């Protein structure tokens, strides 16, 4: 009997990436030059937000998603932070609410007016102080409204209830800087990667570590839950300094199910998972390639599909939620690629080629919408619930009428688990000591510096060097 190769049938084997034409890109954007390993970009169906280069504090642009083309140099910014902005995330249930975190130790909640900004925004609707060092990550809970997670360089993850404007839980199991956070589908589990080379699965309400992996051969950087498959995928570096991915069983982290080397480049690998199509996208920071795979339930678990190639290196990538995609073009994923050298934000659509122009139900199953499944009090009491699903068949229109109401807060110490977070300050890193010497630090007693106005680098304005001293 003659040998025959094993072919695998997949409806996604011919998925291809399509770059938007120049007039549908966002041009002239002063993208930040910060080297922090984040995306610096957040997207929803209404707005695109990008962290920008600025003097005298941190700022980011918020542009209506249909306002493509060249962005004016004096375009209004959100510029209330006193330090560099390190991460931004849109509220998944309220389209005009965005969270940001910064080197000034604060997390801030901003309400963007309908139609976008008309002037610089310096006042946040909510300022959250609880971390004693810079805050590197923010994540919204996937099924609960007004629950926000923040991870700081004080090695703590704080859980904020925005209905009261206070931290209600603290996860302090980490021994070093937290690199990445990812939720499972119903938000009952939180996976984290840490600079101490450990991968953890945590029960967020109690802070209890359910599983922990010491990654000696696979130095983890990023982690993502693979939907409801009870598996995790991490990206990192092997002992030979090659880029590598590993697949894990969330209930047993003693050994990875598979490890696969990708290439010998040095840039960080960002993983993105589409639970609807079971496709995994791997995008390298500093190169222009996006590889994509299909995740299976049986060995070999990971099937390579194709690679999108581009000569322009990407600094970060924003991802459009499912309800913002063009279903008539069979678009299953859309990236917003940050090209720093050109000041360009470039949409990249991942498309399944189909001849029929009718709605393709097999590639668009029911998907999470913009309606929260839980209130903060329900989630904090121990309730778990899957996200509320919607169909994209008729062209989804947002029906959620939730309005964000900022609580009135009095200034006082921040107590969580009996610890005053503003008093319990860990030692500073060498970078922070250097920045403090340049006037960029924040007082260890939690006192706030006077606000610094956001200044653009260009336009003939005063040089930032004249503000030092």
Between CA 72 and CA 459 the distance in angstroms is 11
Give the pLDDT confidence score for residue 5 in this predicted structure: 42
Least confident stretch, 7-11, 14-18, 254-258: 7-11
Between CA 435 and CA 186 the distance in angstroms is 39
Q: Work out the burial of residue 442: count CB atoms within 10 Å of its CB; fewer than 13 is exposed, 13-18 middle, 19 or more buried.
A: buried
**What six digits make up the tokens of 73?**
């140099």
Do you know the residue count of the chain? Answer: 469
Per-residue pLDDT at 456 exceeds 70? no
How much is the average pLDDT of 59-88?
94
Is residue 343 within 8 Å of residue 36, measured between CB atoms? no
The pLDDT confidence band at residue 417, using thresholds 50, 70 and 90, is low
E-strand ranges in 226-289 read: 231-238, 243-249, 258-263, 269-274, 279-284
Per-residue pLDDT at 202 exceeds 80? yes
193 vs 357, which has greater pLDDT? Answer: 193
Which residues, 6 or more positions from 431, have their beta carbon under 8 angstroms from its beta carbon?
Answer: none
Consecutive H or E run containing 142? none
The pLDDT confidence band at residue 11, using thresholds 50, 70 and 90, is confident
Three-state DSSP class for residue 87: strand
Give the pLDDT confidence score for residue 426 in this predicted structure: 59
Residue carrying structure tokens 């902005």: 85
State which of 50-54, 431-435, 462-466 shows the largest mean pLDDT. Answer: 50-54
Give the pLDDT confidence score for residue 57 in this predicted structure: 80
Instruction: Encode pLDDT of 429-453 as tens digits.
Output: 555 555 544 444 444 444 444 444 4
Between CA 459 and CA 314 the distance in angstroms is 26
Instruction: Encode pLDDT of 398-408 as tens digits.
Output: 555 677 777 76
422 vs 402, which has greater pLDDT? Answer: 402
Between CA 149 and CA 368 the distance in angstroms is 20
% pLDDT > 70, the chain: 83
Per the prediction, the chain carries an average pLDDT of: 85
Sheet arrangement for strand 198-203:
178-183, 190-194, 198-203, 208-214
Instruction: Encode pLDDT of 163-180 as tens digits.
Output: 999 999 999 999 999 999
Give the pLDDT confidence score for residue 454 in this predicted structure: 47
Per-residue pLDDT at 418 exceeds 70? no
User: What count of other Cβ atoms lies within 10 Å of the Cβ of residue 419?
Assistant: 13
Per-residue pLDDT at 20 exceeds 60? yes
The closest alpha carbon to 135, from 179, 101, 164, belongs to 101
Catalogue the long-range contacts made by 287-292 (C-beta closer than 8 Å, 24 or more residues apart).
Answer: 287/313, 287/314, 288/312, 288/313, 288/314, 290/17, 290/335, 290/348, 291/262, 292/15, 292/350
Is residue 234 within 8 Å of residue 250, measured between CB atoms? no
Give the pLDDT confidence score for residue 297 in this predicted structure: 84
Is residue 239 within 8 Å of residue 277, measured between CB atoms? no
Encode 31-64: b = buried (16+ Cβ within 10 Å), e = exposed: bbebebbbbbbbbbbbbbbbbbbbbebbbbbbbe
The closest alpha carbon to 330, from 380, 302, 364, 298, belongs to 364
Instruction: Give, as one character, the DSSP assignment of residue 327.
Output: G
Is residue 214 within 8 Å of residue 260, measured between CB atoms? no
Least confident stretch, 7-11, 256-260, 320-324, 412-416: 412-416
Per-residue pLDDT at 463 exceeds 60? no
Give the pLDDT confidence score for residue 430 in this predicted structure: 56
Strand partners, 203: 208
Give the pLDDT confidence score for residue 465 in this predicted structure: 38
What's the pTM? 0.84
How much is the average pLDDT of 362-385?
94
Per-residue pLDDT at 50 exceeds 90? yes
**What six digits make up the tokens of 37?**
């390993």
The closest alpha carbon to 297, from 361, 351, 231, 356, belongs to 231
Between CA 47 and CA 112 the distance in angstroms is 9
Three-state DSSP class for residue 343: coil
Is residue 204 within 8 Å of residue 160, measured between CB atoms? no
How much is the average pLDDT of 198-211?
95
386 vs 266, which has greater pLDDT? Answer: 386
Instruction: Give, as one character, the DSSP assignment of residue 31.
Output: B
Is residue 206 within 8 Å of residue 168, measured between CB atoms? no
Between CA 352 and CA 303 the distance in angstroms is 17
Give the pLDDT confidence score for residue 198 in this predicted structure: 92
Least confident stretch, 60-74, 383-397, 407-421: 407-421
Instruction: Encode pLDDT of 96-145 as tens digits.
Output: 999 999 999 999 999 999 999 999 999 999 999 999 999 999 999 999 99
Between CA 441 and CA 208 the distance in angstroms is 32
């Amino acid at each position: 009997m003659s040998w025959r190769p094993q072919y695998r049938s997949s409806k996604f084997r011919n998925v291809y990436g399509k770059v938007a034409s120049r007039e549908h890109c966002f041009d002239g954007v002063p993208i930040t030059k910060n080297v922090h390993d984040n995306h610096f970009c957040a997207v929803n169906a209404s707005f695109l937000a990008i962290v920008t280069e600025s003097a005298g504090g941190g700022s980011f642009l918020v542009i209506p998603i249909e306002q493509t083309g060249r962005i004016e140099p004096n375009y209004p910014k959100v510029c209330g932070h006193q330090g560099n902005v390190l991460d931004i995330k849109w509220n998944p249930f309220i389209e005009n609410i965005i969270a940001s975190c910064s080197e000034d130790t604060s997390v801030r909640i901003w309400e963007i007016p309908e139609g976008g900004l008309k002037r610089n925004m310096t006042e946040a609707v909510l300022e959250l102080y609880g971390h004693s060092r810079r805050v590197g990550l923010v994540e919204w809970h996937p099924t609960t409204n007004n629950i926000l997670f923040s991870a700081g360089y004080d090695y703590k993850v704080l859980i904020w209830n925005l209905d009261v404007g206070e931290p209600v839980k603290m996860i302090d199991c980490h021994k070093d800087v937290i690199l990445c956070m990812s939720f499972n589908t119903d938000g009952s589990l939180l996976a984290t990667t840490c600079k101490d080379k450990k991968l953890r699965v945590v029960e967020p309400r109690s802070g209890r570590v359910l599983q922990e992996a010491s990654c000696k051969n696979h130095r983890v950087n990023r982690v993502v839950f693979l939907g409801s498959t009870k598996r995790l995928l991490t990206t990192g570096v092997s002992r030979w300094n090659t880029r590598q991915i590993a697949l894990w069983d969330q209930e047993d982290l003693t050994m990875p199910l598979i490890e696969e080397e990708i290439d010998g480049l040095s840039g960080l690998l960002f993983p993105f998972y589409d639970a609807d199509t079971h496709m995994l996208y791997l995008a390298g920071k500093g190169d222009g390639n996006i590889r994509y795979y299909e995740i299976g339930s049986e060995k070999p678990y990971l099937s390579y599909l194709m690679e999108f190639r581009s000569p322009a290196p990407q600094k970060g990538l924003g991802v459009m939620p499912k309800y913002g995609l063009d279903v008539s073009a069979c678009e299953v994923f859309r990236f917003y690629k940050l090209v720093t050298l050109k000041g360009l934000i470039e949409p990249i659509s991942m498309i399944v080629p189909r001849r029929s122009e009718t709605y393709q139900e097999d590639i668009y199953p029911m998907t999470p919408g913009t309606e929260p499944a839980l209130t903060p009090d329900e989630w904090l009491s121990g309730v778990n619930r899957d996200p509320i699903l919607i169909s994209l068949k008729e062209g989804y229109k947002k029906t959620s009428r939730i309005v964000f109401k900022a609580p009135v807060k009095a200034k006082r110490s921040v107590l969580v688990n009996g610890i005053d977070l503003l008093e319990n300050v860990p030692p500073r890193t060498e970078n922070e000591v250097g920045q403090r010497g340049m006037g960029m630090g924040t007082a260890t007693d939690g006192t706030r510096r006077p606000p610094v106005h956001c200044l653009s680098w260009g336009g003939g304005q005063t040089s930032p060097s004249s503000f030092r001293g």
